[in-house]
Amino acid sequence: MIRAVLCADSRFSEWATGANILCCSSVDELSTFIDIEPVEYIFSVANPFILPVGMLRQARQGAFNYHDGPLPQYAGTHATSWALLAGESEYAITWHCMDQGVDTGDVVVRRQVLITPTDTAFTLNIRCYEAAIEGFRELLIGLTDGALDIRPQRMLDRSYFPRYRRPDVGGCLRWDRSAEDLSAMVRALDFGANYPNPLGMPKVILVDDLVAVKRVKVLDRCSDELPGSLLGIHRWNWRVATATQDVDVWFSGPDGQSIDASALAKHHGLDIGDRLHIFGVEQASSITSELEMLAVQESFWRQRLAGFRSLQLPFFLSSALAMTKWQSSSENAFSVLAELAPIERMVHIVVGWLIYLSRISGESELQLGWSPTLNVSGVASEATGLHIAAVVPMKIVVDLDDAFAEVRRTVETEFALLRAHKSFAGDLVARYPALKNIEALRSRCPWPIGITIREGASSHELGSAPNSGILRSGNVLTLEVCSLDGSFRWHFDRSRLAPENVERITQHLEKLLGAVMAEPRQPVGRIDILPAAERGYLLEELNRTEAAYPSERCIHELFEAQVRRAPEAVALVHENERLSYGELNARANRLAHHLVALGVRPDQPVGICVERSAAMVVGLLAILKAGGAYVPLDAAYPGARLRQILGEAAPRLVLADAAGRAALGGEALAGVGLVELEAQSLAWAGQPSSDPDARALGLGPHHLAYVIYTSGSTGTPKGVMVEHRNLLNYLQWSHRSYYEEALNGSPILHSLSFDGIVTTLFGPLLAGAALYLLKPPVETDLLSPANDGRVYDLIKLTPSHLSLLNRQLECYEGPAPTKALMVGGEPLVPADIQFWRKRFPNVRLINHFGPTEATVGSVTFEISKVIDGSASIPIGRPIANTRVYVLDGHGEPVPFGAAGELYIGGAGVARGYLNRPELTAERFIASPFVEGDRLYRTGDLARYLPDGNLEFLGRTDEQVKIRGFRI
């Protein structure tokens, strides 16, 4: 019976757990178990752990190890590869007793394994495993029968291959060796496409590049050309001369796939007759030694590379179709650091830069490229630079609540790690599938941002050197600092980063370091890094949105003014029913007077739960005219949610039709005054048709227009209280933008409980246009002009609805269904907008964004160009009388282009949450930037794009929206 296993493989661990076998994750854990419960045997099979002698002695009947080689020869690690490199044709596996030495115990089972001329490490390993299984059966039988043939090893024949030994020149083909040696090298380093390669990739050096070799075929012919001469270039392989026979060579790319050999030759300027690199003895020895020294650190780098992170600055432009154009800044020195010693200036600049990156990116864990200093001889340095990674990952966690000194200690700890672990073999990523599958790591310099410390020369002595790749540890931006004088400069790809933004970065960094010098103990996250000009641009220039609007009026008063201008104009169309402005106003007035008589007063919530109909619009207008705040209750919602809202809002009256009453239920309506909108004999039929006097009712723009409930994704639904003046500012902006020349109005497509309906519900009615109530749930079916020939002034949809409409319009060849299309409520899919840009190029396309708490929409973006299918569509700029701010966790503006939380101020900010004073105080705050203004914390992440438009980056709480509702 198996009592316990020690294994690092997750699949084996799952098997053991399923078989009710203790699975230990460490040698110490297994040792503790064996101390308590002694075992008969210990079997070590392909075990990477070193077991202490004391544990081995705990096994009462013995401890045995499987070795994949013919002990005493090929002791140590990777025995099959070393045997192939040695040209062995006969081989064996061994089961042996375990003692204090590595692979030195007595042999108990030995099984022969033949090596074929085409064997690779992969195929030979498989046959060794098969032999190991047979050998294990033999071992168990011997233990059972007491008939083991135990033989001591002949130690004079021993050969040992330590874990960190590496093949000659790291696996690089040496053309001045025999063809058989080259074939053996490639086969010995072929561990299988989906398995780790612990030794090295077979490869060739081509000018300034290393290319992996996939296969080598030894030919019967032998040319008279010098070794390394290119004899033939074909589509998939080259023919090359060696010290013996010629060979055909196939290549693979960073992803392991075969590559076009003819294109490879062209790329490196190689032609038939050219000679490939021949290693000198000293050069080859130096490279091999350096790789063996770095092999000790390989596990450290594998773990760090597996956690690859790509740090992006908000200033970076898209890499799509960009042609790299490297530029170096002039030498800089910060006067604020002048009193420090040069090495201290260097440290301050690096630490300050890391703090700045954390601040501007919003990331606490940073990974950057770092150029290590390697000690290699001059004769080997050029080639060694190809074999050893010139850029390694620096990993820093910045706590913005720390003072500069604490961050510095963190950075110095990382410096020590980087010095201790130096670098890694240049082919490391290609050798491990888990790393190779991270596409960015296939590049020599995968990190967008890097740091290079120059220790041998001050930067003004480098001449043209900054444009050499060795200095660039970031593929977009590298900070190069000289430790001799504390000077620095930038190397950047100006196709991705504009020079003026590099200058802005320098200004930010100088301000940050100046603040550190002035007050070193302050938390680094609280340091003001914005120059005065940039601060003014963010807070003032981008928020110049002042526009006149009748802030002393109420919404329904503007509707009444429109009634007086054109009482006979069509105001509402629902199926076969058409109402003029005069008729709609008269109906609403009679009901409003009735509501006043029932006790409706300003700021009083009044529920309305009806299907989409003329009665819905009449009810809404009546509630507003009576001074109440309508509370929309969608009859399609679950009854429990409706009852929850009803209990929270506590309206005295509810306007409902049959569907609404059924949805709410008799119990919920028992304590509430009910106004039945479809009653045969209307109780308000005798009421006057004149407009109620708002002033006589004590009604003003500071009173509530509606209380609309959010989706409640983070808990209990919240009732957002929106005042007339909030709504009036939004609708005046909407009128100027979309309805000034209104002819055909807008359709209603949304639930009354979604505030996005406000735009097209009131927009047409304030413009003298018609409101079309389309029948749910097939609204999008009715939008096509093929159905009624109408081209609307404005259609407003959520992206979910837009996708449905696009599918219905795919085969339609007529005119566009609208003059303007507004999309809002959730992130916009670029491909859906691209459909409209191509099919209906004259339609205005608007991305509209804003939380319910800031009244429908706060920022907007008109999409006037073809959208890249992979691009993010901006949410735009603030609407009239609206101010937006992108702030950090301390409520301070982040640099232009940096990510931060979006705050909204101005005329659209709602009063707060109904009956939720604590939450209102948390989310609605006094503005620190404009006296008397209030800000709403959206919980949305955003940043400014270079053109001043905002880009939505996601939620701080990871919520998403579907059809306008947060989930």
Query: 864-891 b/e with 16+ CB inside 10 Å = b?
Result: eeebeeeeebbbbbbbbbbbbbbbbeee
Percent of the chain surpassing pLDDT 70: 93
Helix (H, G, I), strand (E, B) or coil at 342: helix
Specify whether the CB–CB gap between 614 and 678 falls below 8 A: no
* Cβ neighbour number for residue 421 with a 10 Å cutoff: 18
Q: Where in the chain are the domains?
A: 38-150, 168-279, 310-529, 554-700, 726-967
DSSP 468: S
Which helix H or strand E contains 756, and what residues bound it?
Answer: none
Alpha-carbon separation of residue 657 from 638, 662, 726 (angstroms): 17, 9, 29
Q: How, if at all, do strands 247-252 and 209-218 pair?
A: antiparallel
Q: Which of 757, 731, 809 is nearest to 964 (CA)?
A: 757
Bridge-partner residues for 824, per DSSP?
Answer: 848
Q: Which of 66, 174, 68 is nearest to 115 (CA)?
A: 68
CATH fold for the domain made of 168-279: Methionyl-tRNA Fmet Formyltransferase; Chain A, domain 2 (3.10.25)
* Cβ neighbour number for residue 267 with a 10 Å cutoff: 14
Q: Which one-letter amino acid corresponds to residue 940?
A: D
Which helix H or strand E contains 156, and what residues bound it?
Answer: none
Phi, then psi, of 561 in degrees rounded to 5: -65, -35
* Cβ neighbour number for residue 79 with a 10 Å cutoff: 26
Phi, then psi, of 318 in degrees rounded to 5: -60, 145
Specify whether the CB–CB gap between 601 and 624 falls below 8 A: no
Rounded to whole angstroms, the Cα distance separating 800 from 807 reads 11
Rounded to whole angstroms, the Cα distance separating 7 from 1 reads 17
Rounded to whole angstroms, the Cα distance separating 776 from 765 reads 21
- State whether the Cα torsion 247-248-253-255 is positive or negative: negative
Alpha-helical (H) ranges within 422-487 are 428-431, 433-436
Q: How, if at all, do strands 365-370 and 449-454 pair?
A: parallel
Rounded to whole angstroms, the Cα distance separating 873 from 882 reads 21
For the 554-700 domain, the top CATH level (class) is: alpha beta
pTM over 0.75: yes
The pLDDT, as a whole number, for residue 868 is 56
Q: What share of the chain is helix, strand, coil (3-state, %, to 5)?
A: 35, 20, 45
Residue 507, both tokens: 């200004």
Q: Which of 356, 460, 347, 487 is nearest to 414 (CA)?
A: 347
Q: How, if at all, do strands 4-6 and 22-24 pair?
A: parallel
* Cβ neighbour number for residue 289 with a 10 Å cutoff: 15
Per CATH, the homologous superfamily of domain 310-529 is: Nonribosomal peptide synthetase, condensation domain (3.30.559.30)
The pLDDT, as a whole number, for residue 533 is 93
pLDDT tens per residue, range 646-668 = 999 999 999 999 999 999 998 88
Query: What Rg value do the Cα atoms of the chain yield, rounded?
Result: 38
CATH architecture assigned to 38-150: 3-Layer(aba) Sandwich (3.40)
Q: Which residues contact 757 (CB under 8 A, 6 or more apart)?
A: 748, 749, 750, 751
Bridge-partner residues for 893, per DSSP?
Answer: 887
Alpha-carbon separation of residue 410 from 108, 354, 448, 595 (angstroms): 53, 11, 22, 68
The pLDDT, as a whole number, for residue 725 is 98
Specify whether the CB–CB gap between 803 and 797 falls below 8 A: no
User: With 0-12 CB in 10 A as exposed, 13-18 as middle and 19+ as buried, what is 165?
Assistant: middle
Specify whether the CB–CB gap between 187 and 84 falls below 8 A: yes
Would you state the torsion angle of the CA atoms of residues 937, 941, 947, 948, taken in this order, to the nearest 10 degrees?
Answer: 10
Q: Is there a common fold for 38-150 and 554-700?
A: yes
Rounded to whole angstroms, the Cα distance separating 594 from 674 reads 12
The pLDDT, as a whole number, for residue 899 is 85
The pLDDT, as a whole number, for residue 461 is 40
Rounded to whole angstroms, the Cα distance separating 527 from 592 reads 56
Query: 587-621 b/e with 16+ CB inside 10 Å = b?
Result: bbbbbbbbbbeeebebbbbbbbbbbbbbbbbbbbb
- How many alpha carbons fall within 13 Å on the CB side of residue 644? 14
User: With 0-12 CB in 10 A as exposed, 13-18 as middle and 19+ as buried, what is 511?
Assistant: buried
Helix (H, G, I), strand (E, B) or coil at 238: strand
Q: Which of 383, 45, 9 is nearest to 196 (CA)?
A: 9
Bridge-partner residues for 886, per DSSP?
Answer: 902
Tell me which residues of the chain have a pLDDT lower than 70. Answer: 319-322, 373-385, 456-471, 680-681, 712-715, 777-789, 865-871, 957-967
Phi, then psi, of 101 in degrees rounded to 5: -90, 165
Residue 185, both tokens: 């090298």
Q: Which of 303, 300, 274, 122 is nearest to 195 (CA)?
A: 122
- State whether the Cα torsion 663-672-655-550 is positive or negative: negative
Rounded to whole angstroms, the Cα distance separating 394 from 398 reads 13
Residue 395, both tokens: 């990993």
Rounded to whole angstroms, the Cα distance separating 955 from 941 reads 6
The pLDDT, as a whole number, for residue 207 is 84
Query: 775-793 b/e with 16+ CB inside 10 Å = b?
Result: eeeebbebbbbeeeebbbb
Phi, then psi, of 143 in degrees rounded to 5: -65, -40
Specify whether the CB–CB gap between 336 and 246 falls below 8 A: no
Specify whether the CB–CB gap between 350 and 411 falls below 8 A: yes
Q: 887-895: long-range contacts at Cβ-Cβ below 8 A with a sequence spacing of 24 or more? A: 888/359, 888/525, 889/400, 889/525, 890/525, 890/526, 891/928, 892/526, 892/528, 893/530, 893/535, 893/538, 893/539, 894/359, 894/360, 894/943, 895/314, 895/359, 895/360, 895/504, 895/508, 895/529, 895/530, 895/534
Bridge-partner residues for 887, per DSSP?
Answer: 893, 901
Residue 732, both tokens: 């005046």
Q: Which residues contact 167 (CB under 8 A, 6 or more apart)?
A: 81, 85, 185, 188, 189, 199, 200, 288
Phi, then psi, of 129 in degrees rounded to 5: -65, -40
Rounded to whole angstroms, the Cα distance separating 272 from 843 reads 59
Euclidean distance between the first and the last CA atom of the chain, given in angstroms as a whole number: 52
Alpha-helical (H) ranges within 819-966 are 830-839, 917-923
For the 726-967 domain, the top CATH level (class) is: alpha beta
